[in-house]
Chain A
Amino acid sequence: MDPDNTAATQALLRVCGLQAGFGRRVLMREVSFDVRAGEIFCILGGSGSGKSTLLRVLMGLKAPQAGQVFYGGKNFWAGDEESRRGIMRGAGVLFQGGALWSSMTLAENVEFVLQQHTDMSAGDIRAQALLKLALAGLTGFGDYYPSEISGGMRKRAGLARALALDPRILFLDEPSAGLDPVSGRMLDDLVLELRAALKTTFVIVSHELQSIFAVADNCIYLDAASRRVTARGRPADLARDPATEGNALRFLTRGAGLA
Chain B
Amino acid sequence: MGEPPYFGYIICSRHQAEPALARMSCTGYSAEMQSIPRLKETSRATNRVETDRAREDRLRVSVGGQWRMGESERRDELASLLDELESGRVRRLTLVADGLGPWDSSLLVFLARLVGVARAGGVGVCLDLPDGLTRLLSLAFAVPAAADARQKEVKESFLSAVGGRALGLLPGMNNVFAFFGEFSQACCRLALGRAHMRARDLWEAVHECGVAALPIISLTSLLFGLILAFVGSVQLTQFGAQIYVAGLVSIGMLRIMGAVMVGVVMSGRVGAAYAAMIGAMQVNEEVDALQAAGIYPVDFLVLPRALAMTAMAPLLTLYADITGVIGGFLVAVTLMGINPYDYLSTAAQLTPFRHVLVGLAYGTFFGVIIALTGCFHGMRCGRSAQAVGLATTAAVVHSIVGIIVATAAITVVASALNV
B-binding residues in A (CB < 8 A):
87, 89-90, 102-103, 114, 117-121, 123-124, 127-128, 131-132, 134-135, 137-141, 143-147, 165-166, 168, 189-190, 193-194, 196-200
27 residue pairs bridging A and B, Cβ less than 8 Å apart? A87-B36, A90-B36, A90-B37, A102-B385, A102-B387, A103-B386, A114-B69, A117-B39, A118-B40, A121-B73, A124-B73, A124-B75, A127-B113, A131-B105, A131-B112, A134-B140, A137-B143, A139-B143, A146-B384, A147-B384, A165-B69, A189-B1, A193-B139, A194-B136, A197-B139, A199-B34, A199-B132
CB <8 Å contact, A135 and B36: no
| Contact of A132 (CB < 8 Å), options: B34, B35, B105, B133 | B105
A141 lies within 8 A of B109 (CB): no
Separation in Å of the B74 CB from the closest CB of chain A? 10
Task: Return the chain A residue nearest B108 by Cβ.
Answer: A131
Least Cβ distance of A34 to chain B in Å?
Answer: 18
- Using known A-B contacts A102-B384, A135-B136, A166-B34, determine if residue A143 contacts B152 with beta carbons closer than 8 Å: yes
- B69 in complex: contacting residue of A102, A118, A123, A168, CB < 8 Å: A118
8 Å CB interface, B22-37 against A: 33-37
Closest approach, in angstroms, between the C-beta of B134 and any C-beta of chain A?
Answer: 8
Chain A residues with Cβ below 8 Å from B54 are none
A165 to B106, CA, bound (A): 10
Q: Which residue of B lies closest to A116 (CB)?
A: B39
In addition to A102-B386, A103-B386, A199-B132, 10 A-B residue pairs with Cβ atoms within 8 Å of each other are A102-B385, A102-B387, A120-B70, A134-B140, A143-B152, A144-B149, A196-B131, A196-B135, A197-B133, A198-B136
Bound-state CA distance A143–B113 (Å) is: 19
Q: Please, how many angstroms separate the alpha-carbon atoms of A121 and B73 in the complex?
A: 9
A140-B132 contact given A90-B36, A190-B139, CB 8 Å threshold:
no
- Minimum CB distance partner of B105 in chain A: A166
Q: Is the CB of A103 within 8 A of B385?
A: yes
Instruction: Say which residue of B136, B152, B386 sits within 8 Å of A193 (CB atoms).
Output: B136
Q: Across the interface, which residues of A come within 8 angstroms of B386, CB to CB?
A: 102-103
Tell yes or no: B192 within 8 A of A by CB.
no
**Nearest CB on A from B142, distance (A):** 7
Quick check: A128 and B69 within 8 Å, CB to CB?
yes
Query: What residues of chain A lie closer than 8 Å to B36, measured between beta carbons?
Result: 87, 89-90, 168
Say yes or no: is B15 at the interface (Cβ < 8 Å to chain A): no
CB of B383 within 8 Å of the partner chain: yes
Q: How close is A118's CB to chain B, nearest CB, in angstroms? A: 4
Residues of A within 8 A of B131 (CB): 196-197
Q: How far is the CA of A168 from the CA of B152 in the complex (A)?
A: 33
Bound form: Cα–Cα A168–B102 in Å: 13
Instruction: Give Cα A133–Cα B22 distance, bound, in whole angstroms.
Output: 37
B211 within 8 A of A: no
Complex contacts, B109 vs chain A, CB 8 Å: 124, 127-128, 131
Picked from A119, A132, A139, A145, the residue with its CB within 8 Å of the CB of B149 is: A139
Q: For B135, give its contact among A114, A132, A165, A193 (CB under 8 Å).
A: A193
Chain A min CB distance to B386 (Å) = 4
Beyond A117-B40, A118-B70, whether A197 also contacts B384 by CB under 8 A is: no
Interface centre among B39, B106, B112, B151 (most CB of A within 10 A): B39
Closest chain A residue, CB of each to CB of B141:
A134
Evaluate contact between B149 and A141: CB separation under 8 angstroms: yes
Question: In the complex, what's the smallest C-beta–C-beta distance from B130 to chain A, in angstroms?
Answer: 9
A89 to B69 CA separation, bound complex (whole angstroms): 14
- State A165–B34 Cα separation when bound (angstroms): 11
Closest 9 CB pairs of A and B: A140-B149, A90-B36, A102-B384, A140-B145, A197-B132, A137-B143, A103-B386, A134-B140, A118-B70
